[in-house]
Amino acid sequence: MKELSSLQIERLKYQPKLPESLAGGINNLELVEGNKTECVKDTEQIKELFSNIYGKPIVTFKKTPEKIIPEKSNVGVILSGGQAPGGHNVIAGLYDALKQANPQNKLYGFLGGPSGIIEGNYIEFTDEKIDDYRNTGGFDIIGSGRTKLETEEQFQKALKVCKELDITGIVIIGGDDSNTNAALLAEWFVKNNAGIQVIGCPKTIDGDLKNDQIEISFGFDTATKTYAELIGNILRDANSAKKYWHFIKLMGRSATHVGLEVALQTQPNITLISEEVEEKKMSLKQIVDYIAQIVAKRADLGKNFGVALIPEGLIEFIPEIKSMISNLNDVLAVLENDSAYKSADENTKFNIIENKLNNEDSSVFASLPTMIKQQLLMDRDPHGNVQVSKIETEKLLIEMVSHKLEEMKNEGNFKGKFSAQCHFFGYEGRCAFPTNFDADYCYSLGYNAFALLKFGLTGYLSSVKNLSAPALEWVAGGVPLTMMMNMEKRHGQFKPVIKKALVELNGPVFKELEKNREVWAMEDKYIYPGAIQYFGPSSICDITTETLRLENAAKLTAV
């Protein structure tokens, strides 16, 4: 057995809670089918690409007294993409359900992400192995990776490995891109009569894999509470020293769910929401002016300190920069095979790009500081896009706000001081010990994933709903992966992907921030959440996120 910390030893004793339908046992379930489904957009293209798995119904499970012992089956599991707290419990729930169904069943873990199933790198899970990782953070039980599953050669290799291990089901634990891989693999297996099912599980701390059937992706609860603790500490430090402005960039590239949730938990002075910036068509100058005005007004009150939350993906939501980045992605997709460009020095590369960009986009690129240009030209992510997390937006804003305040000081409109510190919270939240909520939710997702396999389903995402209620009242089931898909441009070509869920500006969560932001800007109504609690009253240990609370309260009000 591996070395365990005192907390891990205690957490091993925690038995995750299951929805009532699943708590009765994996062999005492009945499948209930709902209506057939459609994708969110681009129906004809998605229907053609996924003709074998498209249009399946949403399903739920209910308890039945009839007990059915299934035949022996082997299952493989893959951790895909970035880490999120609770991934180990998805595997533990899957393992327990599989062994409960039939003790002869086997669970294989593919090592290093999707590449493991292609290259045949795997382990067979045992009780001892699973018990070392229950209720812990991280993906280190088998590791993760970002290999795309999309080519005929990859599918053939995966099939060969599955046949060698007599695997009849694959569970892919990942975010929107990873579950797009799951849909592609499921479609190919059905098309080729492989007899192998594929089920996905919704993972991403960014919170952008959600819809009516997926209320929250796992890891979001833990990550936001981890960040809220850190930001609460900084708020207290700012309020103690009273001499620094802290600019904190928060993980969440494509949506600002993390920043919004953390703001509601901590109540900082400034919270930028990428979706709002895009909706209002705010320029970089307008954002800088907005921050500078708050800094100046607080200085008038004798407060030369504060905290500003900056979304990781903010820069590409600013309209003129978003346009430039989109154009830049297309240009770089061509230049990646251009030997003259690849061997050029930095300034020459800048000039080549400026000449290839559209006029307005070229002007925007030319206006940026060298530091930001360099970061824009770093290696692409696996989907051919700018790696926004490497763009130091917080430093850019500090520099520009500082210049703006100097202008205001020269005009007699700023009499305070501005000294700034910058932070980026990302990796700090990805592998934290999961909260009780995420421990329960993830275990239920894994357990439920085997239930979907048991009933012969493929191309589904494991779904557990009604999450703001106690765990026994959660509703277990599955949603077809194609229901969440549309076509988007990747590497210069349109490809099927699961549509990301952005912050809804008319939704109850953003409205809560909007209602309070002016007061929070001037008055120091800071909240210090403190560390995640695992033991104690349920009102402290089992609370959901503000996002879930507000969204589900709004649903009840609408009914």
CA-based nearest residue to 125, from 150, 92, 149, 102: 92
C-alpha neighbours within 13 Å on the C-beta side of residue 137: 22
Question: What is the signed CA dihedral for 361, 363, 365, 369, rounded to 10 degrees?
Answer: -160
Beginning with the edge strand found earlier in the chain, give each strand of the sheet holding 420-425 in spatial order.
270-271, 306-311, 245-250, 420-425
Q: What are phi and psi of 542, to 5 degrees?
A: -115, 15
The string over 484-515, giving b where at least 16 C-beta atoms fall within 10 Å of a residue's C-beta and e elsewhere, is bbbbbbbeeeebbbbbbbbbeeeebbbebbee
Q: Which H/E stretch holds residue 538?
A: helix 538-541
- What one-character-per-residue DSSP string does 157-209 give? HHHHHHHHTTEEEEEEEE-HHHHHHHHHHHHHHHHTT---EEEEEEB-TT--S
- What one-character-per-residue DSSP string does 385-436 give? ---GGGS-HHHHHHHHHHHHHHHHHHTTS--S---EEEEEESHHHHSSPPPH
Alpha carbon distances (Å) from 59 to 51, 114, 294 = 19, 27, 50
Give the integer Cα–Cα distance in Å for 158 and 197: 13
Give the integer Cα–Cα distance in Å for 477 and 212: 13
The DSSP 8-state label assigned to residue 507 in this structure reads: S
Beginning with the edge strand found earlier in the chain, give each strand of the sheet holding 197-202 in spatial order.
29-36, 57-63, 475-480, 460-465, 197-202, 167-174, 74-79, 106-110, 122-124
Neighbour tally for 537: CB within 10 Å: 9
Give the integer Cα–Cα distance in Å for 233 and 79: 32
Give the integer Cα–Cα distance in Å for 39 and 18: 30
In a 3-state reduction of DSSP, which class is residue 13? Answer: coil
The residues carrying an active-site annotation are: 206
Q: What are phi and psi of 284, to 5 degrees?
A: -60, -40
- Please give the structure tokens belonging to residue 479: 């949603």
